[in-house]
Amino acid sequence: MKITQLTSGVVLTAALVAIGASVAGAQETLRSLAEERGRYIGAILNSQWFGGGLPGQYEQIHKSEFNVVVAENEMKFDATEPSQNNFNFNNGDKMVNYAKQNGMRARGHALAWHSQVPGWVNNIRGKDQLLAVLKNHIEKTVGHFKGKIDEWDVVNEAVNDDANHGWRSFGSVWFQNIGAEFLDSAFVWAHKADPDAELCYNDYAIEQGIGPGSKAGFVLDQVKRWVANGIPITCVGSQTHVEDVTTAKEFIGAPDSLRHFAKELAKLGIKLNITELDVGFKSGINVSKEDLARQGQVYRQFMDVFLEEPNMGVYLIWGVSDKWSWL
């Protein structure tokens, strides 16, 4: 285990505790442990990395500890199609080259999302017009990375937060102009552009369980419908952002809820991935040893679910270090 090589600026403590690794095998890394089990463990490449703004050991640690990668922001709609039909894949290419050179699985994030959409999209009105924009974006983007991106978040965060069991009806240029049809279409277009890529629906609060009015319950119903209708979905991503582990009571039991959800998806032949795991603290608080222990415990519980459920493939944390976390 490479604990001794970590500097104070780069803290993998929680993830290390999570996997329950001992200091025994000198060559053991998170990556080697995952590979022995046929699993993928990963972290974003931070936006600073794309600009060359991270210290040297960041990349070294990223390469040795992880075998799956995703870009924090660089493959989102506003980054890849900043003006209509003018695509910029420079950063995406940088990521897939890095993945290839280092033998990593690559995730693409994200094709149809209400957020980080460039201004020009919001100025387009009309169902057919918006459908054409989304189709073109998906065909060009997935087509460009065909064979290089193993798995796409085709649709991200399309469900409401208001416990009303429904699609996000406010603040989504896609839903407001097209309706729910945009989701089905997005999967079909992505599959056509790269038939070998795995295709996910990705969302947050999934780990809160499939109880009445829950997001996970609604997603499960939709996945059943998609599977029954032959929509080419292969995976669901649970973002799993636990923003404040010291007060977030709702997260007690979350790993068990996620396990239950994984089992439900398994019945449908669908994978579950943990795509953006964070276990954070409210900013500005003094973090105690007990807080860190609880943080490690939560990473560990999600890791147990990940290793024990056969239809889980990816355990991805949203940042190598708390130092550069969006939270």
Which residues contact ligand XIL (rule: CB under 6 A)? 47, 72-73, 156, 239, 276, 326
240 contacts 275 by C-beta, under 8 angstroms: yes
209 or 319: CB nearest ligand XIL: 319
Question: Judged by CB, which is closer to ligand XIL: 72, or 207?
Answer: 72
Closest approach of Cβ 143 to ligand XIL, in Å? 22
CB of 109 to ligand XIL, least distance (A): 6
Are 155 and 186 in contact by the 8 Å Cβ rule? The answer is yes
Instruction: With CA atoms as reference, report the closest residue to 19 among 6, 5, 4, 1.
Output: 1
Scored b (16 or more CB within 10 A) or e, 73-110 reads bbbbbebbbeeeeeeebebbeebbebbeeeebbbbbbb
CB of 23 to ligand XIL, least distance (A): 32
Which of 41/206 has CB closer to ligand XIL?
Answer: 206
The DSSP symbol for 86 reads B
Residues 301, 206: Cα–Cα separation, whole Å? 16
- Active-site residue flag, 157: yes
Query: Which residue sits closest to ligand XIL, CB atoms considered?
Result: 326
From the list 157, 198, 207, 309, the catalytic residue is 157
Nearer to ligand XIL, 53 or 310 (CB): 53
3-state secondary structure of 43: strand
Q: State which residue, 167 or 326, has the beta carbon closest to ligand XIL.
A: 326
Report in angstroms how near the CB of residue 4 gets to ligand XIL at its nearest.
29
Closest distance to ligand XIL from the beta carbon of 157 (Å): 6
Active site residue 65: no
In angstroms, the CA 141 to CA 129 distance is 18
Spell out the residues 6+ positions from residue 248 whose beta carbon is closer than 8 angstroms to its own: 242
DSSP strand pairing (105-113 vs 68-71): parallel
Task: Report the catalytic residues.
Answer: 157, 276
